[in-house]
Structure 1
Amino acid sequence: MKNVVLVTGGSSGIGKAIAQYLHDRNYKVYGTSRSPEKYADLPFTLLQLDVQDQISVNKAVEELIQREGKLDILINNAGVGITGPMEETPIDEVKHAMDTNFYGPLRVLQAVLPHMRKQKSGRVINITSIAGYMGLPYRGIYSASKGALEIATEAYRMECAHLNIHFSNVAPGDFATNISAGRFHAPVKENGDYAAGYKHTLNLIDEHVEDGSDPIEVAQVIHKILQQSNPGIHYKVGSFLQKFSITLKKILPEKSYEKMLKKHYGLK
């Protein structure tokens, strides 16, 4: 019998790559989208789901269970980008990002875990970000939302271990996706105190995404994790420098690491 997988945000980007890769390897894959009717050409089923709406989440999960009778694997991938100076980012946009990137996965888990507990098995992979390991300038809200999910996963993992439900994080770096299309950008205030640094950062972000690797690399790592009987907690996928930046944060003095980041982002 095929393993049944639910991939939130499965209509584009990393989520689509994951869903397609697992579908091609004989998993029974369901993706999700707020507007599944726009993606009729996908080879796997898309369910309508908005991670900001618990009723929508519950309905999608119940539909999947009715169709398949079980859910073996949840991949919490749905997310949204956000950039801007911390001071100038509207609080409503901060709430929107946290609601999608942190509360959203928790809503999905509240709908999914009762079924996994009932079947006494399950695998959960939360897609976070290498940005979640550090407070990046002009990406602080995004870093905070993904960092929160990293930490929450550690707690879930310990709490659910005796239920035979295994949790892992996968933190991607920059990959060639369309994430920038849906990202909220706080406007650059041309004569503001943050204008120069923020402009430089936006240019860097665009360059990194354009030069990013194929998101299939994330899918390959996830497939390897799913084949492990006792998977680890944290996995990073990205360029050597992106992954090494996490190691540097552990070994460098705090001010030295901060100085390195500021130099990278063109900050004084």
Structure 2
Amino acid sequence: MSQKVVFITGASSGIGKSIAEFLVQKNYRVYGTSRNPKQIEVNGVYFIALDVTQPESVKKAVAELIQKENRIDYLINNAGMGITGPIEETPLSEIKRVFDTNYFGVINVINEVLPVMRNQKSGSIINITSIAGYMGLPFRGIYSATKGALELTTEAYRMEIKDFGVKMANIAPGDFATNIAAGRYHAPVCENSPYKAKYQTTLDLMDQHVDAGKDPMIMAERVYEVMQKENPRIHYKVGEWLQKFSVALKHVLPDKIYEKMLMKHYKI
């Protein structure tokens, strides 16, 4: 049997790199993407240049992959960026930039790959979202919004593509030990800001959570498990028990009680 072809965006580091390495070990033919693929080396992974925010770049990358393999069996949308800050003090240009990557960029890639999978009458798409997408987190509201939007959009996509033999699911990670904290946009903690104390406290706590996060290889294993499912669920969550339980609580607790719980957790 020929190797299944996997296309992973944002595979040069963190969760994406772990997924790519794990799938190579499982005998998949893995293509990862990076804006600067010549600078990337991941054992057994073939890299293609891709900027998800640029439709022409997406078209070129997918065309290159089809030229090489003539098919795409799995698309894993992992490329993303973080952003923190009081929404009032976050530049609109940065808000648009993170939405371009985390939301519109994913749609760019999905819409370019869907015709390929439709012609094959098979394929599976996995969107890496975030547990943060299930709730509006203080000083991470924009990041929550991008991931929450993708969660809901996936629900709509699934119903629209059901007749094409194409499957789609979300996998929402909690905190994992990656370099996302270093790479995300931080609105500066301004001396004269009314948010200064609370924002700094929350920022320190977020960084501690990432530093103490789980091994991203756990996410890779979960992605592999979902890839094997004939009829995957819409939503999967991966992380600490408390993080996953917090999503369940949001569905049962009154809004104000849940809000107080989050504020207590972030010590604000």
**TM class, shorter-chain normalised?**
over 0.9
- Secondary structure of the structure 2 residue equivalent to 1:87: helix
Amino acid at match of 1:162: D
Map 1:75-114 onto structure 2 (within 5 A). Answer: 75-114=76-115
Pair 1:185-2:183 in alignment: no
Pair 1:237-2:238 in alignment: yes
Asked if the contact 2:12–2:42 (Cα under 8 Å) also holds between the matched residues in 1, the reply is: no
What is the CA deviation profile of residues 35-67 of structure 1, one whole-angstrom value per residue up to 9, with x for unaligned ones? 011113532101000001111111011100010
Could you state the TM-score of these two structures normalised by the residue count of structure 2? 0.98
In the alignment, the residues of structure 1 paired with residue 119 and residue 164 of structure 2 have an alpha-carbon distance, to the nearest angstrom, of 9
Q: CA deviation at 1:172?
A: 0.3
Map 1:138-157 onto structure 2 (within 5 A). Answer: 138-157=139-158
What is the CA deviation profile of residues 170-192 of structure 1, one whole-angstrom value per residue up to 9, with x for unaligned ones? 00001000111210000011232
Amino acid at match of 1:9: G
Amino acid at match of 1:78: A
- Secondary structure of the structure 1 residue equivalent to 2:126: strand
1:129 maps to: 130
1:216 maps to: 217
2:263 maps to: 262
Amino acid at match of 1:244: F
Q: CA deviation at 1:165?
A: 0.3
In the alignment, the residues of structure 2 paired with residue 214 and residue 24 of structure 1 have an alpha-carbon distance, to the nearest angstrom, of 17
1:253 maps to: 254
Amino acid at match of 2:44: P
Asked if the contact 2:175–2:214 (Cα under 8 Å) also holds between the matched residues in 1, the reply is: yes
Pair 1:23-2:27 in alignment: no
1:37 maps to: 38
Amino acid at match of 1:239: E
- Secondary structure of the structure 2 residue equivalent to 1:75: strand
- Secondary structure of the structure 2 residue equivalent to 1:192: coil
In the alignment, the residues of structure 2 paired with residue 78 and residue 39 of structure 1 have an alpha-carbon distance, to the nearest angstrom, of 15
Q: Among all aligned residue pairs of Structure 1 and Structure 2, give the percentage whose two residues are the same amino acid.
A: 59
Count of residue pairs the alignment pairs up: 267
- Secondary structure of the structure 1 residue equivalent to 2:169: strand
- Secondary structure of the structure 2 residue equivalent to 1:5: strand
In the alignment, the residues of structure 2 paired with residue 127 and residue 148 of structure 1 have an alpha-carbon distance, to the nearest angstrom, of 12
- Secondary structure of the structure 2 residue equivalent to 1:70: coil
In the alignment, the residues of structure 1 paired with residue 36 and residue 106 of structure 2 have an alpha-carbon distance, to the nearest angstrom, of 18
In the alignment, the residues of structure 1 paired with residue 204 and residue 41 of structure 2 have an alpha-carbon distance, to the nearest angstrom, of 34
Q: Any gaps of 5 or more consecutive residues in structure 1?
A: none
2:74 maps to: 73
Q: Any gaps of 5 or more consecutive residues in structure 2?
A: none
In the alignment, the residues of structure 2 paired with residue 218 and residue 42 of structure 1 have an alpha-carbon distance, to the nearest angstrom, of 18
Map 1:6-21 onto structure 2 (within 5 A). Answer: 6-21=7-22
2:168 maps to: 167
Asked if the contact 2:21–2:42 (Cα under 8 Å) also holds between the matched residues in 1, the reply is: no
Moved runs in structure 1, 4+ residues, more than 3 A?
Answer: none
- Secondary structure of the structure 2 residue equivalent to 1:46: strand
What is the CA deviation profile of residues 244-264 of structure 1, one whole-angstrom value per residue up to 9, with x for unaligned ones? 110111111110000011111
Q: CA RMSD in A?
A: 0.7
